[in-house]
Amino acid sequence: MNRQERWSMLLLCLGFLSAVLLPATQKLDKTTSPTRNPIEGAQIFRSYCAACHGTDGRGHGPASVALKHAVPDLTLISQRNGGKFPRQRVKDIIEGKESGPLAHGNREMPIWGPIFHDVESDEDWGEVRLDAVTKYLESIQQK
């Protein structure tokens, strides 16, 4: 493994670790609220998706170089689907219910459903988070 591959793997691991450890540390705090584990779509995207998909959703996040397949440009979802945003399919891919495009075919993308459905203060905010990040993705589609 050459130096660039090692750096790429390190970046990928750091991105995944932060995504896994952040929710784990929040479980320790019984006062966790939706403001500490975001429910706003853009904030969810920045926290969980931007490491690979980039802050603009175009697939050039810092961890993308370590992946086996190119990270898809999420601003072109509607364009790839005849001009219609496939809301339920996108939500199912994020949650892990359905395999997505090539990069998701082998599940290089973490399954966010269990993390988003983490119960806080006896409430499951998972559907709210999934809806919010899906609506955010719909809002960044190129016209």
pTM for the whole structure = 0.66
Measured at the CA of 47, the angle between CA 56 and CA 15, to 5 degrees, comes to 95
Task: Return the pLDDT at 110.
Answer: 66
Q: How many CB atoms lie within 10 A of CB 58?
A: 17
In tens, the pLDDT along 71-111 reads 999 999 999 999 999 999 999 998 888 766 544 445 566 66
Query: 10 falls in which pLDDT band (50, 70, 90)?
Result: low
The predicted structure's pLDDT at residue 18: 54
